[in-house]
Structure 1
C-alpha cells in the first residue's frame, strides 16, 4: 500500500542497461522510490560484460528525467565504472516511505548507507549492533529483504558471520551479490 505522500508523487520509471542486465529505477522529484534489478542473464554470460557503463534505455515515454532520477543515473554510472568514486558522491535522495518511518528497518537501512563503504562488508550481527539492537540479527535479515533501493542502499554488503555471502534477492540473485562484492573489492584494491 502506498503512503499518502508517495501516492501524491508523479513517479517516473527509467530502465538502465548495466553489467548486471536491466535495472529499473522509479522515483519522483523528491527522490528515488525503488531500484529493481531485472535479472535476465547472469553477469558472467553477458556479451557486454566488459562494459561497466550504465546507459539509459527507456524513459517512461518521456524525454525529460527529473533532477533526482538524473542524479541516481549518474551515481549508478559511477558505481559501475569506478565504484571507489561513489564514496565521494552524495547518495541520491530516497523517497520511499519505509525510509522515512521511525522503524527498526529504516534505522538499519540508514545505518547501512552511512556506515558500510564500498568494498567493505558487515555481518548481520555487526549491523544489528551498529543499529543499536545487538540481539536483532534476524530483524536485520528482514530489513535487508525489505530494502526497496538495492545498490544505493548496499544490502549486498551484508554477509553472514561465517563469511559466506548469504542470500540475495530471496536467493535468486546470489550470483549478482557475488558479482557486486567482487566488483567493489577489485576496484577498491586497484
Structure 2
C-alpha cells in the first residue's frame, strides 16, 4: 500500500519521484489525513468512528488544519478548502475547484476509474444511488459487485463521494471509514440540502 501513496512520476529529464506532502484536517468527524504532491492528491485517509460526533450532522463545528511546517502544495490547499466548505458551508463546494488527483488508480484506464469519475460527475450533494444504479450509469448494469470493489478502493473519499452509494434495499452498506461515518455523511448532506431548499 505504501507504493500507492507515493507513485513515481517520470519527467523528461529523468527526475523520478513526487515529493509527497502531508496535512491533517481536524473535521467534525475526526482527523482526515491527506497526502499529495505538486501534481495532485494521493489519498484521504478517513478516521474510524466508534461513536457519532456531538451535534449529529450539524455543520456548526469548524475545521482546523494541522500542518507539520512543510509548505503546502496547491492541490493540498484546494483539498483543504473544499473539505472545510463541505463540512461548514456545503453550498460553496459547487463553486470551488476540485483539486487535481495523482493516484495510480485514477490514472490508468479501468472500470474502477470509470465508476469513480461517473460517481464524482453524476451523483450530486444530498443524492444517493444504489450499486446497481451506479453500474448502469458507468455503462455496465451487471457490474454491481465491481462497483462495490471500486468503492472500497476509492483513494479520495468524501470528494469522490463513495458514501453516496447505498444498497438497493436502502440500507447504507459498508464504508471504509465505518458505517457510522457513512451514516453521518449522508445525514449531513440530507440536512444541509433541506436547509438550502428553504
For the structure 1 residues 146 and 65, does the alpha-carbon distance in structure 2 shift closer, same or farther, using more than 3 Å as the test?
same
For the structure 1 residues 45 and 188, does the alpha-carbon distance in structure 2 shift closer, same or farther, using more than 3 Å as the test?
closer
Counterpart-to-counterpart distance in 2, 1:136 and 1:82: 35
Shift of 1:90: 2.1
Structure 2 residue corresponding to 1:5, chosen from 2, 9, 16: 9
Shift of 1:114: 0.5
Counterpart-to-counterpart distance in 1, 2:175 and 2:91: 22
Counterpart-to-counterpart distance in 2, 1:155 and 1:82: 20
Q: Which residue of 2 aligns with 1:15?
A: 24
Q: Deviations over 1:2-25 (max 9, x none)?
A: 443297110100011001110000
Q: How does 1:121-160 map to 2 (within 5 A)?
A: 121-160=128-167
Q: Deviations over 1:107-164 (max 9, x none)?
A: 0001000111110001100000000011000000000000011011100000011111
Q: Which residue of 1 aligns with 2:106?
A: 99
Max Rg structure: 2
Q: Which residue of 2 aligns with 1:177?
A: 182
For these two proteins, the number of residue pairs brought into alignment is: 185
TM-score (norm. length: structure 1): 0.90
Q: Does 1:54 align with 2:58?
A: no
Q: Which residue of 1 aligns with 2:13?
A: none
Kept in 2, the 8 Å contact 1:22–1:39? The answer is no
Counterpart-to-counterpart distance in 2, 1:138 and 1:39: 24
Shift of 1:50: 6.5
Kept in 1, the 8 Å contact 2:59–2:87? The answer is no
Tell me which moved more, 152-161 or 88-97: 88-97
Q: Deviations over 1:70-102 (max 9, x none)?
A: 011000010000223212222211111100110
5+ residue gaps, structure 2: 11-15
5+ residue gaps, structure 1: none
Structure 2 residue corresponding to 1:43, chosen from 42, 47, 52: 52
Counterpart-to-counterpart distance in 1, 2:59 and 2:149: 34
